[in-house]
């Protein structure tokens, strides 16, 4: 059954740490004002899930010596404000709390879970009403080990709350984990860095612009990545038999395509299995076993699966 989620990644430019001498009101009010201003634009679309960047709850360029105190004194108030907004708007909100945590708030304003910057034990996925979320902060974006861990946990959505654009790493994370990805990036002054929605085949579905500070897309979580090798005819037949119930998105050049179950019933896994279509992981696993047999090996090589 189609599991559609309206997902938005919102860029935020927090007030400068110097703003306290330029503007009226408390710094906390200013920080919240900057978040709410961007959220208002995004909420016109009534998203199910909103992602805000790392450190969106702090003044920009807060010295390290002041950051801890700021987080202790003001972090709970920002979380309370976002919980209230989540409840009022009926959406899940995820945001980077300082540079060390990613907080996920449920539609009813309760905390769904949090991800803390490594080190620590291997982080679990965060479960919420929309599905299983893999959370990443910008300093973790380049960790192959974290990516390997998350790949094995099969998240529905990857959330990257960052202070840098993720570039090709966003695309390779999404493709490696066969999951949709949202990246929200902290804006520096007036420099609007790209927030993006990336599909499980690494295709950039939407990006923020100079006039729109958020990226948005309706994604369908009942989907799977299939390799075109040996599957072209079967995919055509599957789609031909139910043109409105099966969507195939080919980003081109990759070999992998995203197949979604748009129907009101069944699951993409069942529908692919009935059509004799393997997922890309089933195909690569079968390929590696075949390759090992041809090389006279019993078990797959380390790192090849």
Partner 1 sequence: MARRVRVSAVSSDFIILDPAAGDERGVETVLASMRRLIAPVLPERPDLIVLPEVCDRPDNYEMPRRRAYYDCRAERVLDFFRQTARQNRCWVVYPTERLDEGGAWRNAAYLIDRAGHVRGVYDKMFVTISQMEEDGFPCAREPAFFETDFGTLGMAICFDLNFPALLEAYARMRPDLIVFPSHFHGAFLGEHWAWACQAFFLGAIARHECYLISPAGQAIARSSPGRRFLTAEINLDRCVVHCDWKDLPRLDALKAARGKDVEITDAGFGGNFVVSAGDTVRDAAGMAREAGLMPLDDYLLKGEGRTSAWPGA
Residue placing its CB nearer to partner 1 in the complex, 34 or 227: 227
Phi and psi torsions of 68, nearest 5°: -60, -45
Q: Which positions ≥6 away from 89 have C-beta within 8 Å?
A: 43, 46
The candidate with the shortest Cα–Cα distance to 38, out of 56, 12, 58, 20, is 12
Q: Cβ closer to partner 1: 18 or 80? A: 18
For partner 1, which is the closer residue by CB, 122 or 243? 122
Bridge partner residues of 58 (DSSP): none
CB of 290 to partner 1, least distance (A): 6
Angle between helical axes of 64-89 and 27-43 (0-180°, round to 10): 40
Residue 4 vs 151, nearer CB to partner 1: 151
Place of tokens 């692919």: 272
Binding-site ranges for partner 1 (CB under 8 A):
61, 117-122, 138-146, 149, 163-172, 175, 188, 202, 229-230, 251-255, 284, 287-288, 290-291, 294-295, 301-304
| Spatial distance between the Cα atoms of 50 and 35, rounded to a whole number of angstroms | 12
Q: In Å, how far from its chain's centre is CA 23?
A: 34
* Shortest distance (Å) from residue 81 CB to partner 1: 26
| Cβ at position 102, least distance to partner 1 in Å | 15
Helix axes 167-177, 144-153, angle to 10 degrees: 30
Nearer to partner 1, 13 or 271 (CB): 13
Shortest distance, CB of residue 142 to partner 1, whole angstroms? 6
Least spacing, CB of residue 26 vs partner 1, in Å:
25
């Amino acid at each position: 059954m189609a599991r559609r989620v309206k997902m938005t990644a919102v860029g935020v430019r927090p007030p400068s740490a110097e703003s306290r001498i330029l503007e009226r009101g408390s710094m906390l009010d200013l920080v919240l004002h900057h978040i709410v201003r961007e959220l208002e634009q995004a909420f016109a679309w009534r998203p199910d899930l909103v992602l805000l960047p790392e450190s969106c709850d702090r003044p920009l360029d807060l010295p390290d010596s002041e950051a801890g105190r700021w987080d202790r004194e003001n972090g709970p108030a920002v979380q309370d404000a976002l919980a209230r907004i989540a409840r009022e708007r009926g959406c899940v909100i995820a945001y980077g709390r300082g540079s060390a945590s990613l907080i996920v708030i449920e539609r009813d304003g309760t905390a769904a879970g949090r991800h803390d910057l490594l080190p620590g034990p291997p982080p679990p996925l965060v479960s919420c009403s929309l599905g299983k979320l893999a959370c990443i902060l910008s300093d973790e974006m380049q960790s192959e080990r974290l990516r390997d861990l998350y790949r094995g946990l099969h998240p529905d959505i990857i959330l990257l709350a960052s202070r840098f654009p993720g570039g090709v790493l966003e695309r390779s994370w999404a493709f490696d984990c066969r999951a949709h990805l949202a990246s929200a990036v902290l804006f520096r002054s007036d420099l609007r860095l790209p927030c993006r929605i990336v599909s499980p085949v690494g295709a950039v579905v939407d990006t923020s612009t100079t006039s729109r500070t958020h990226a948005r897309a309706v994604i369908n979580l009942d989907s799977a990545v299939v390799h075109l090798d040996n599957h072209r005819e079967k995919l055509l037949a599957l789609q031909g038999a139910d043109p409105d119930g099966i969507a195939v998105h080919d980003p081109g050049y990759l070999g992998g395509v995203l197949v979604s179950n748009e129907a009101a019933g069944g699951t993409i896994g069942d529908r692919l299995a009935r059509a004799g279509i393997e997922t890309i992981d089933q195909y690569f696993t079968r390929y590696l076993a075949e390759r090992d047999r041809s090389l006279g090996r019993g078990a797959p090589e380390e790192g090849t699966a």
